[in-house]
Structure 1
Amino acid sequence: MTSPLAHRFHALADNVERVVKGKRDTVELALTCLFAEGHLLIEDVPGTGKTTLARCLTASVEADFARVQFTPDLLPSDITGVTVYRQGTGAFEFLPGPVFANIVLGDEINRASPKTQSALLEVMEERRVTVDGVTHPVPRPFMVLATQNPVDLGGTYPLPEAQLDRFLMRITVGYPDLASEVAVLTGVGSDAAPESLSPVVSAREIAQCVEEAAEVQVADALYDYLVRVVAATRTFPGVRLGASPRGSVALLRAVRVWAASQGRPYAFPEDVKALAVPVLAHRLVLTPEAELSGRTGADVVEEVLAGVELRGGVRR
């Protein structure tokens, strides 16, 4: 019997695929992030469908949604909110910003100044915002869904390592294959657009799935394997800064959702291997020499996976 999480997961994927053609793997990674209540960073060159994917996800979920178009003149208060003085009542009132939603789309997040980018640090980690010394919790579930262009393009500000570490995953969309691109062209002018999608899952159901995923069983041997994979990134040649314990926690949360989406109440080593690159690669800081040689964080994670073996058995 299909679990509620697996049913809703694939219903969402099918709905998004009505618009986003030929990217099932990418869509499923994004949904894994959603059901793990993590934050997602979609990075790719302009025109590959980053914002379309994000809009399709938000259109498929019946929840409070807010969009922020990041620009160089955007201020931190434009995101978190501001306290104003009401002359009629003689009291100060907090006006919440767009971050007080279940899903917040930050479009082209690396076009805002570092000061504005840092306004998201507290809310992404602690699910709350502090303004003028007063703490305001955001609704649950809560997800920041951000898009960005590669940092070597003009007019962009690289996200600091501390903020990158708060994204559960970083994924790319990539160019579609020929058949999918033809499908995109034939769909132009039809109802194949994010606005045509109807919600298939509610915020309450997402919250229930978050709890269901937490019940997925993980064997002691798999805990050991996961931690050794993450630890190996810290001592790997060419890596200046490896993945932190936050990376271990993020990978575990994603693995549990991935297993549940396949209809399994327990996780496999293959789940770790399937998710390690999108969860860990963006958390690594390579040495200048490694970067000059063309190596990437994804290369390092793949080599780590090839070198770390499972010790002990995992129930099949």
Structure 2
Amino acid sequence: MNKVGPLARRCRRITDAAWFSTLAFVLILANAAVLGLETYAGFKARYDAQLTVVEDVFLAAFAAETVLRALSHADRPRAYFRDPWNVFDLGVLLLAGLPFAQQNATALRLLRLARVLRAARFLPQLRVIIVAVGKSLPGTVSFLLVGTLLLYVYAMVGWVFFADDDPQHYGSIGRAALTLFLLMTLDGLGDAVRGGLEISRWSIVYFASYVLLASFVLVNLLIGVVIQSLEEAHRAEARRERPAADTDAERLRDRIATARAALDDLEEGLAELERETAGGRQERPRVRA
């Protein structure tokens, strides 16, 4: 344990340094650029051997980064796995080494593409957005269920009233649902309303109520879910950064306490030296007498 502690502290100093994060981010961007170049068949055919070497260099660099981050948590391994980005990095690295990934070109490309997603680790705002998307999933599922129910009801009503006169858009439940789904974005709403008015003047109630519920109420509800998730993600990011600040403050307090203890020892030593010096001065006259 005594050997693990200093090793973890040394690796932590490296991984916490600004240059380390900058270097890792630059490597991710370079890897993304190389992946883009490989999509050009002529370039890949001409420099295939060089691209393979470059990919091996990237893989070695990312493996070294992952090992350093793991070693920086050697004195507290559980903390390493509490960070989802650490688990993601480790998973991508391990999966890339499995035989099925090496033999499957599509899986290997997807894993290499996943490494590009690691750029979010070094961009706090992007990290907040990704966390917000994850937190908004339960609310989004509820939104989709309500939206599907609303779409189904209005599609059935549209089929009942408009199927005979407009079979191209309402001839079946599927066509009616597709038409209404496109109308949810208000695209082609004017043409749909004009076509409905040619069938019946009461169709305006149908389209007005649908647009009100689907395009305004539901969309605003979804926006509210996303905004709430963004606020929760911001608070989670603040809590994530606070332990690091608390740790730095604790280290500073420990150093101050150590310095104060050293000063106290120094003052006691000086006081003892003064007392010994004063005692020696008082004894000298008695010797002469």
Query: Does TM, scored on the shorter chain, surpass 0.5?
Result: no
Give the TM-score normalised by structure 2.
Answer: 0.23
* Higher relative contact order (Cα pairs below 8 Å, separated by 6+ residues): 1
More helix by share: 2
Give the TM-score normalised by structure 1.
Answer: 0.21
Flag the structure with larger Rg: 2
